Amino acid sequence: MSNNWEKGTICIQGGYSPKAGEPRVLPIFQTATYKYDDPDHLASLFNLEAAGHLYSRISNPTVAALEEKFAKLQGGVGALATASGQAAVLYAILNICKVGDHIITASTLYGGTVNLFTVNLKKMGIEVSFVDPEASKEEILALAKENTKAVYGETIGNPGLNILDFDKFAEVAKELKVPFLVDNTVGTPYLCNPFEHGVNVVIHSTTKYADGHAQSVGGIVVDGGNFDWANGNFSEFTEPDPSYHGIKYVETFGNAAYITKLRVTLGRDLGACQSPFNAYLTNLGLETLHLRMERHSQNALELAKWLEKHPKIKWVNYPYLETSPEYDRAKKYLKGGASGLLTFGIDGDIEAAKKFTKALSLVALVVTLGDVRSCLLHPATTTHSQLSEEEQIASGVTPDLMRVSIGIEDINDIIADFEQALSVI
Ligand SMILES: *Cc1c(COP(=O)(O)O)cnc(C)c1O
């Protein structure tokens, strides 16, 4: 298979190359187990001496095709698909941190990740420091401790829509000799390649734009293969692992040490694997990612420009709007569009906002993003309602903020729906 295909070609043909007489389209290998002829072969699989499928909690041909396509698309050396985006975030961190460790994160995060970090990671003894993404490099470095093991952020904060200053956070991570992890769910592998900006591990909720049709919950962790795990800070990567007869990950797997360790330890022991059926659907969705992201971005920019001129709209935020404070950074880190999220505030109170929401008909009230169907929600009373007011503000949620995940319907119909709904308030 060609290694230098453009993204649009990888979306369609990456990860699966059938031989003569084999199915043209990636099949669903709906199997838990695999058959062998030779006990020595099976033993070598168990000892990680040979590559091959052993049990679908660890790997499966349909899931593997998705992982290979995704790794290529995102420009990494390997990937592990998980049961959900939440599982991907948890795995990515637990592969590096254990009890007593510490990470630094930009505060503008998905609400579920904030809960994971502040509640469950804390229970596991991993401490997380949140920092304003606009803090200076020195201010971020001042949060570092002896046990700091990672720097974390999201490409496009949801729903603040701030674009991460990759260069600054990458410098912090380099200085601390720790990996830089980024959740690129909203950026998508089509619009943004964090590995070109100093990131070492990329995480996605594939539930969103990757699947694109709101059909399958899933996640993926992609290894950039560009971090020196043997720098003295990460002994689990260099010391013998007793659960595999003393295998040493860096020595044995080189620049794929991170993703291999993730699969064979956390994948094996925690078991949040992606099902073959979900991988099949996610792969089908990815086949049109390049076309969808262009249309999502185009529709979002057009709606944002229309809303900006509407007298009942107080403010609009879309990173590709020239009036957005994020515009320069968006142009630098996002190529070809700024994805499908935009936010705005209605000129009116919460009752007006509710009336407007009820009046929408094509644009539905739905708790997801990245769907081909347009949807809208009010984060302060839904996705971010479990956070304190302070935490809400820190993650970019103001009380009047409405978040739209623009679909790929005809933009004229989307605008007409907004127009009629605004006319009732
Ligand atoms: C949805 C989402 C997650 C969590 O993913 P699930 O697939 O819902 O578990 C993580 N990060 C971001 C940015 C998300 O939008």
Percent of the chain with pLDDT over 70: 99
How far is residue 235 CA from its own chain's centroid? 27
pLDDT of residue 111: 85
Q: pLDDT-based confidence at 378, cuts 50/70/90?
A: confident
CB of 154 closer than 6 angstroms to any ligand 1 atom? yes
pLDDT of residue 306: 98
CA distances (Å), 225 to each of 71, 193, 253, 301, 318, in order? 11, 14, 10, 35, 32
Q: pLDDT-based confidence at 2, cuts 50/70/90?
A: low
pLDDT of residue 155: 98
Q: What are phi and psi of 247, to 5 degrees?
A: -65, 145
Quote the ligand 1 centre to 86 CA distance (angstroms): 6
Q: Which atom of ligand 1 is nearest to the CA of 219?
A: 7
Q: Determine the Cα angle at 184 with ends 221 and 263, to 5°.
A: 0
pLDDT in tens, 14-72: 999 999 999 999 999 999 999 999 999 999 998 888 899 999 999 999 999 999 999 99
β-pairing verdict for 219-223 and 313-317: unpaired
pLDDT in tens, 67-111: 999 999 999 999 999 999 999 999 999 999 999 999 999 999 988
Quote the ligand 1 centre to 419 CA distance (angstroms): 30
Quote the ligand 1 centre to 20 CA distance (angstroms): 39
Distance CA 178, CA 175 (A): 8
Instruction: Report the candidate in 321, 322, 114, 106 with the shortest Cα–Cα distance to residue 199.
Output: 106
pLDDT in tens, 172-216: 999 999 999 999 999 999 999 999 999 999 999 999 999 999 999
How far is residue 389 CA from its own chain's centroid? 25
CB of 84 closer than 6 angstroms to any ligand 1 atom? yes
For residue 395, pLDDT over 80 is answered with no
State the alpha helices, DSSP H only, in 75-163. Answer: 85-94, 111-115, 121-123, 137-141
pLDDT in tens, 318-356: 999 999 999 999 999 999 999 999 999 999 887 888 899
CB of 274 closer than 6 angstroms to any ligand 1 atom? no
Quote the ligand 1 centre to 85 CA distance (angstroms): 5
CB of 59 closer than 6 angstroms to any ligand 1 atom? no
* CB proximity list for 262: less than 8 A, separation 6 or greater: 80, 91, 92, 95, 221, 223
Quote the ligand 1 centre to 369 CA distance (angstroms): 9
> Under CATH, domain 289-422 is a member of which superfamily?
Aspartate Aminotransferase, domain 1 (3.90.1150.10)
Q: Where are the domains positioned within the chain?
A: 7-285, 289-422
Could you give the 3-state DSSP secondary structure of residue 357? helix
CB of 371 closer than 6 angstroms to any ligand 1 atom? no
Distance CA 123, CA 232 (A): 27
Q: Which atom of ligand 1 is nearest to the CA of 218?
A: 7
Q: pLDDT-based confidence at 3, cuts 50/70/90?
A: low
CB of 208 closer than 6 angstroms to any ligand 1 atom? yes
- Taken in order 206, 179, 152, 168, the sign of the CA dihedral is negative
pLDDT in tens, 276-324: 999 999 999 999 999 999 999 999 999 999 999 999 999 999 999 999 9
Q: Give yes or no for a contact between 189 and 221, defined as CB atoms under 8 angstroms apart.
A: no
Q: Average pLDDT, whole number, for the chain?
A: 95
Q: What are phi and psi of 263, to 5 degrees?
A: -65, -50
Is CATH 3.40.50.150 the classification given to domain 7-285?
no
Edge to edge, the sheet with strand 313-317 lists 313-317, 341-346, 401-405, 375-377, 364-365
CB of 368 closer than 6 angstroms to any ligand 1 atom? no
